[in-house]
């Protein structure tokens, strides 16, 4: 007896092919309107990577983390210190990236170890403090030994390069001029796809089901034989690894890092991306990250010319309008879509069951 295999519908393959074509030509289309839009997409991909990493901790394992940006900082500073004139080291990427990932995972375990018995507000406070401690350390490790160069940051950071092919400069390839941001777009897109695949595999594995069990009821999970300590530490370490990778790409792309880039506001922003898109649902998290990272630039491009044409000057600061609309959107989402814009099926059933119970 043969078991019939499930074939992928042609419409799915067609959708994948169309999405691939759109993603392939996107940087060239945006480049016609200025390289700033390509850089905006690149930063959006960085935020997608950060959101997917935080989703492992918050969405899969149900552990609130307000200091996630610390792992982003660890990855960025590892790249900056090992690939810049600061220490006179210019190591290749295949040495720096594993070092950054291992160090970020180590710091993730360090954060998870003292918080194993904490939940809710207490966990949020401890993780918030951890993120601020890392930022303050980066800001003050310039004496008596200059490790991070303090508030001045580290500049002239090497760009990502493979066998002499540098991603930071423009060049002609097959008769087409490809700029540095466009090269980084394809690199970041490849890394983002790899992270999505890893997250999807983790979610559907025994580890992912263990994270879900801990999120739903830690006591019941422990009674069923799940080692909740190791599962929590693994969630923190895995999430930190993706944050460290995003930080390394940020440092190589910017060519400069400083403690100002890793403030508490950034941690809250990444958490809002996860919550807005839909905790625990990978497509929803990607949607939330893209919306909250691209929308401010679109708003700036529309609001500033509109005010100049109407009033002759900029009356309202675009950043202020952005935060106002951002807060208003979050309030509306929490009222009408408490599970997020694109929630997971499990999360949707939980909220529906809770609503029926209240009725």
pLDDT in tens, 299-322: 877 877 887 888 777 777 777 777
What are the tokens at 338? 């408490």
Distances (CA, A) of 315 to 295, 299, 311: 20, 15, 8
CA atoms 290, 294, 296, 302: torsion sign: negative
**Which comes out higher in pLDDT, residue 115 or 68?**
68
- The confidence score (pLDDT) of residue 1 equals 44
The sign of the CA dihedral 167, 172, 178, 180 is positive
| pLDDT higher at 80 or 309 | 80
The answer to pTM > 0.95 is: no
Which pLDDT belongs to residue 357?
52
- What pLDDT does residue 13 have? 79
Q: Which residue has the higher pLDDT, 47 or 308?
A: 47
pLDDT tier, 105 (very low <50, low <70, confident <90, very high otherwise) = very high
Per-residue model confidence (pLDDT) at position 255: 93
Collapsing DSSP to helix, strand or coil, 257 comes out as strand
For residue 331, what pLDDT is reported? Answer: 86
- Mean model confidence pLDDT for the chain: 87
pLDDT at 5 over 70: no
How does DSSP assign 172-212, residue by residue? EETTEEE-HHHHHHHHHHHHHHHHHHHHHHHHTSHHHHHHH
Tens-digit pLDDT profile for residues 321-335: 777 877 888 888 888
Task: Tell me what the mean pLDDT of segment 156-172 comes to.
Answer: 88
What does the block give as tokens for 39?
């850089």
The CA–CA distances, whole Å, from 201 to 56, 154, 205, 206, 232 equal 12, 37, 6, 10, 18
Is the pLDDT confidence value at 359 over 60?
no
Q: What is the mean pLDDT of residues 265-280?
A: 91
Q: Is the pLDDT of residue 350 over 80?
A: no
Percent of the chain with pLDDT over 90: 53
Q: Given this model, what pLDDT does residue 356 score?
A: 54
Cα separation, 278 vs 341, whole angstroms = 6
Q: Which residue has the higher pLDDT, 357 or 120?
A: 120
State the average pLDDT over residues 174-193: 90
What pLDDT does residue 301 have? 79
346: left (phi over 0), alpha (psi -120 to 50) or beta: alpha
pLDDT of residue 346 exceeding 80: no
């Amino acid at each position: 007896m043969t078991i019939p295999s499930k074939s992928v519908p042609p419409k799915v393959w067609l959708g994948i092919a169309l999405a691939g074509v759109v993603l392939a030509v996107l940087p060239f289309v945006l480049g016609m309107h200025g390289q700033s839009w390509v850089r905006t997409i690149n930063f959006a991909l960085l935020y997608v990577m950060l959101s997917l990493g935080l989703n492992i901790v918050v969405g899969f394992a149900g552990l609130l983390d307000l200091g996630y940006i610390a792992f982003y900082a660890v990855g960025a500073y590892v790249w900056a210190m090992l690939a810049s004139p600061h220490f006179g080291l210019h190591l290749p990427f295949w040495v720096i990236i594993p070092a950054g990932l291992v160090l970020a995972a180590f710091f993730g375990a360090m954060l998870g170890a003292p918080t194993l018995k904490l939940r809710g507000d207490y966990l949020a406070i401890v993780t918030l403090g951890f993120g601020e401690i890392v930022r303050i350390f980066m800001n003050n490790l310039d004496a008596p030994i200059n490790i991070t160069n303090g508030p001045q940051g580290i500049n002239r950071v090497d760009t990502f390069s493979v066998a002499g092919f540098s991603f930071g400069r423009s060049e002609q390839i097959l008769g087409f001029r490809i700029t540095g941001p466009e090269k980084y777009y394809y690199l970041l897109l490849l890394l983002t796809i790899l992270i999505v695949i890893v997250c999807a595999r983790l979610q559907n594995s025994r580890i992912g089901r263990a994270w879900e069990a801990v999120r739903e009821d830690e006591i019941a999970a422990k009674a069923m034989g799940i080692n909740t300590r190791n599962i929590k530490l693994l969630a923190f370490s895995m999430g930190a690894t993706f944050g460290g990778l995003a930080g390394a790409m940020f440092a190589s792309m910017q060519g400069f890092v400083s403690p100002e880039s890793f403030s508490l506001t950034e941690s809250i922003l990444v958490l809002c991306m996860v919550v807005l898109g839909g905790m625990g649902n990978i497509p929803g998290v990607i949607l939330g990250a893209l919306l909250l990272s691209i929308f401010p630039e679109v708003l700036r491009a529309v609001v500033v010319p509109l005010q100049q044409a109407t009033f002759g000057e900029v009356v309202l600061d675009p950043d202020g309008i952005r935060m106002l609309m951002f807060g208003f959107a979050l309030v509306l989402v929490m009222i009408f879509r408490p599970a997020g814009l694109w929630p997971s099926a499990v999360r949707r059933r939980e909220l529906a069951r809770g609503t029926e119970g209240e009725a």
